[in-house]
Structure 1
């Protein structure tokens, strides 16, 4: 690796950031320097390579064919360095960073984390609640809890729990529902972009979504659940979303049948990261908690 001595690290960082972000301004903001400084570092690095790495356009930078090849290696290299540094920091601090959807975090996970802390007082959990699909190979995230079909590339994915759906509503409204056909006579609470439709539950009961009427629409499942608790209609919920409200008597499941959607919860980690004691401890605890009451 003696050839590294011929290149300045700051210049290589400027190249990688400019190529990944597509502009000098964005690279400057990420690196905490001026646009002029990034521009000079890029120019000097191009002189050292002896070839231009970017084509300059009014809307930003576009890598040349040579630049694409070099930037691919630089991106992979800095990602490995970042992952190594993050791992060292986490081991020093005893912190486990978990990326999880906000609905799962607020309705299920945060109410049970104290159980984990009691078993593992030496491990600190940092919850990153975001709807975006975090890449554990290129971030400081140790674990992702994802909902889907498990076909994500370049990660390890272990199935935790199949998602089973069933109608939920207030206890008072549940008294009006004796047969699935009765759903035609009550408001239906909906999300604008759900992962699955009512057919997942109605179909096995010989019915279709056409029988359902109108009802309020909310932007996420957490609000939908609160609306169901408030008596505004019936929502198609699932176990991790509704189980605590049902146990407290704030919510009811008027029908006993629960059906799979083909979607599951998955424990996702980087394919390249080594297995650690903290990750294994959290995985084992999570699987045990999810199995309670099933």
Structure 2
């Protein structure tokens, strides 16, 4: 351990981050400093080690032969440190804290929690239903599920499901919907916080420039969905919001036309903390459930259109 006394820990952190992330800018973002500061720390560390870790090229830093071996061991060492810090912060290893939007928790997750418990009886979930983008490096959240473009700073994001939108309404309201243009006869219930408009679906359906008559506007997507179930209007929904209601028959997706929004559902986690086995198990289970949910939704829509 005495060898470490001659090397500054911040310099080793800068070396490891730059090597792992591939650029000074990315390392600076993760460490909360400037790219110039990272470069200086790397230079100081190389001087302290007496070895060159990176070649400076027009394309950026390229690890030397020695640097690649050194970085591999350094990353493993910092991974162990991160796990040690995480274990001190977590009170109960059997509890997995999940951060999801309230609408995802209410309309997708709660229906399926029994199946997770059956597959993983040794893992207890703590659901943090919030739209706040928590700091995954400092909070006790293990895994988050967010909807967006996947480019949130400071997190590792993995695509779960591309978001597609489509109209849904009660079975009674769908009776006279034979072609897409018929939907213009109905009133719409609107999610006032939606990241997209009806025009996205109209373009896909060949109705670009059309407008819906708005009956009610809600500040929460789940309330708009309840209004659609109650027959108060047609809603522009997406798979994880309306899939269960369509599959169960309380809503109908009257056309087989879906439009991509450019957004998606993403798993997000900290870049600096290793994933626990519980987190990996949860993500695998969610992917299985999403795949099965989409299979059931597609089958239900196909059955309706075939009648």
Question: What TM-score results when the alignment is normalised by the length of structure 1?
Answer: 0.69
Is the deviation greater in 271-280 or in 86-95? Answer: 86-95
Instruction: Report how far residue 101 of structure 1 moved.
Output: 0.1
Which residue of 2 is the match for residue 143 of structure 1? 143
Distance 1:147 1:173, change over 3 A: same
Preserved contact between residue 204 and residue 258 of structure 2 (Cα < 8 Å): no
Preserved contact between residue 187 and residue 214 of structure 1 (Cα < 8 Å): yes
SS in 1 for 2:213: coil
Preserved contact between residue 83 and residue 139 of structure 1 (Cα < 8 Å): no
Distance 1:227 1:133 in 2: 28
SS in 2 for 1:269: strand
1:83-232 counterparts in 2 under 5 A?
Answer: 87-90=87-90, 92-232=92-232
Distance 1:209 1:243 in 2: 27
Instruction: Report how far residue 130 of structure 1 moved.
Output: 0.5
Instruction: Report how far residue 88 of structure 1 moved.
Output: 3.1
Preserved contact between residue 90 and residue 96 of structure 1 (Cα < 8 Å): no
Q: CA RMSD for the aligned pairs?
A: 2.0
Distance 1:134 1:84, change over 3 A: farther
Preserved contact between residue 83 and residue 274 of structure 2 (Cα < 8 Å): no
Q: Which whole-Å deviations, capped at 9, do the CAs of 1:172-195 have from their partners, x for residues lacking one?
A: 000121112112211111122211
Q: Which runs of 4+ in 1 moved over 4 A?
A: 81-86
Instruction: Report how far residue 128 of structure 1 moved.
Output: 0.1
Which residue of 1 is the match for residue 291 of structure 2? 291
**Any unmatched runs of 5+ in structure 1?**
1-80
Distance 1:245 1:256, change over 3 A: same
- How many residues align? The count is 215
Instruction: Report how far residue 116 of structure 1 moved.
Output: 1.1
**Any unmatched runs of 5+ in structure 2?**
1-80, 296-307
Distance 1:291 1:202 in 2: 27
SS in 2 for 1:88: helix
Distance 2:245 2:173 in 1: 15
Instruction: Report how far residue 86 of structure 1 moved.
Output: 5.4
Q: Which whole-Å deviations, capped at 9, do the CAs of 1:202-250 have from their partners, x for residues lacking one?
A: 1012213543222111111100100001111100011111111112211
Distance 1:123 1:174, change over 3 A: same
Question: What TM-score results when the alignment is normalised by the length of structure 2?
Answer: 0.66
Distance 1:167 1:107, change over 3 A: same
Distance 1:267 1:260, change over 3 A: same
